[in-house]
Amino acid sequence: MEYWIYIAALTAAGTLTGILVGAIPGLSATMAVAILVSLTYGWDVTTALAVIMGIYQGAVFGGSITACLINIPGAPSSVITTLDGYPMAKRGEGGAAIGWACTESFIGGLIGVLALWIGTPLIARVAVGFAPQDYFLLAVFGILLVGSFAEGSFGKAMFTASLGVVLGLIGLDLITGMPRLAFGSDILVKGVDLVTAILGLFGLSEVLFQLYQNSSAHIIQKVGRLFPPMNQLIRCLPLTLRTSAIGILIGALPGVGGPIASTLAYDHAKRTVREPSRPFGEGAYEGVVASESANNAAIGGAIIPMLTLGIPGDAVTAVIIGAFQIHGLRPGPMLMTETPHLFNLIVVSLLLATFFFLIFGFLLIKPFIKLVSIPQNILLPPIIFVTVIGAYAINSSMLDVAWMSFFGLLGFVFKLYKFPIPPMVLGLVLGPLIDETFRRTMISYHGNPIDILGAIVASPISLSVVALMGVTFFLMLRKPRNSKA
Amino acid sequence: MSATSYKSGNVGANIAFLLVGVFFFVSSFFIDRGIYPIWSSGMIVPALLSAVMIGSAAHSLAQAIKARRAGGAIERTFEPRVMGYIAAFLVYIGALFVVPFWLASSIFLLFSFLYWKSLSLVNAIVVSVAVVALSMTLFAKVFYIVF
């Protein structure tokens, strides 16, 4: 019992931190988890996971606070919430917008956790039978999807994803044992440390870019009534269930995650809700319902491929894989049988975090607003300091601090020229998997493409993966309607 | 120095990224293949992916050139104030190798608050010392190693 009270306290602390970080524009859940992961080296893995899950759930909800109040999403998954949340705030319903966001995030989060609890053991059972070519197809699918939905240019996203894969291959070749792309350097032979790279790319680069932008948004301090009317909540429940299901399905696709889930859910709401409370884009409750239920449901979905296949569902789960690596664990089908207690811990922590952000969301909204009003040029320099400590903590080595600085500056340059960073992190995570599975497939079939194609056609699992890729691309290529109804 | 002196623009950046792709593409051909044929050797994935990098950077470069010719491109620049701060950060990282962690970090934080004009001198000193002291308490294990 004491153990679970301890876990609950850690999850509560993580959720509180997550809401705060998520609410501050520019500071994302990925950044918070990246910084924390580096500091968990000396922690027990259960302690680290409880805090991380709290931050993850809290930050996705936290992003909606500034999305509603100042039209700046605190997290990428809250971008769609601005479409109706901010018009609500402009009508003097800022509190109601946050209340809707909190309630719907809670329901979506609960459904996502339920899907995680039921779906993970089922998929893990199937995943044991995956052949190298199935993993290869899934990994490439993940990278292509991220490229397709990155902001701006597909080419830029593919560039950063490919660079991530190549950088992830620096070091010893797992199959031959020979150094690769090390250029005779002892430092490069050790390879790029995933957590150090993530810390620089999501921590330092974010801070430098925020300082570069020097933004100082004014927060609406007056929020008004928070609780949504019960009859409206019940009326929106069928929509909540549908958009939560979309969130889970999209979240479970490798490399996609909350931002796409909320976009598709919003589009679905616009197509199916015949009589919205107001026109979409002008403060319709249904817009906030769709976006917020989907992005929190996507969390449960995103964790499923991470735990069962070792393939991250989104950028945050890519970072969480780093946390597993720090503690000597490798996510995949065997994780469920070798360390089932970790799966239970993740489910319980996410469930607790869902209740905690509902409580914190309603009780502490006013202090939160005051805290996120602190100017960014006061908040950001200490974060640089924390990233330096975090990088050092990984291996007690100044070399990691230097690597973190390199990736931080690289990430800053990428941000400056609008090259997306999440595909690069997915490339770093998936690079070794792509390399190993591609070469094992080639070795197994003696490099004969006809044999490989035959193996894919003959295997129900491979065919399912190909069908999943086809259906996803078809759905994703359908353009959502305009935001204004 | 004026801001324009740093104006490399999107075209310059894309050329740099293209060169990075070419560098990795050429480098991948120097990877030891061992006993494996080329299609299952350690060079195949880096070579293929760096080819994708070259193609992507070339596509992005073409778009940047098109946008510049059309005259509607918003070119991002390395502003001196940010470059100055990055230089200070690099000095800080270098100083960590020779100066005690707490001292270098306190000075860097103090500098940051003053550089971004976020706090007055007295407040900046108080906040810098407080942040370092708090971190030393929270991450005692890390600081124990550092000292």
Q: Break chain A into its structural domains and give their ranges.
A: 2-130+191-424
Which one is predicted more confidently, A477 or A301? A301
Judge: A398–B132 Cβ closer than 8 Å, yes or no. Answer: no
The helix (H) or strand (E) run that includes residue B17 is helix B9-28
Q: Is A26 helix (H, G, I), strand (E, B) or coil?
A: coil
B147 to chain A: closest CA residue: A396
Cβ neighbours, 10 Å, residue B28: 22
Q: Which of A438, A451, A455 is nearest to A175 (CA)?
A: A438
Judge: A175–B39 Cβ closer than 8 Å, yes or no. Answer: no
- Percent of chain A at pLDDT > 90 equals 12
Q: Which of A185, A151, A168, A200 is nearest to A403 (CA)?
A: A200
d(CA A94, CA A74): 15
Residue A151 has pLDDT above 70, yes or no: no
pLDDT (average), residues A447-455: 85
Local confidence band at B58 (pLDDT 50, 70, 90 cut-offs): very high
Judge: B53–A180 Cβ closer than 8 Å, yes or no. Answer: no
Tens digits of residue pLDDT in A225-243 = 778 888 888 888 999 999 9
Q: Where are the alpha helices (DSSP H) in A40-153?
A: 45-70, 81-88, 94-127, 132-149
Q: In chain A, which among 430-449 make CB contacts under 8 A with chain B?
A: 431, 434-435, 438-439, 442-443, 447
Local confidence band at A481 (pLDDT 50, 70, 90 cut-offs): very low
DSSP A171-199: EE-TTT--EES-TT-HHHHT---HHHHHI
Measured between CA atoms, how close is B111 to chain A, in angstroms?
Answer: 9
pLDDT (average), residues A241-269: 81
Residue B6, amino acid: Y
What is the predicted pLDDT for the residue at A110?
Answer: 93
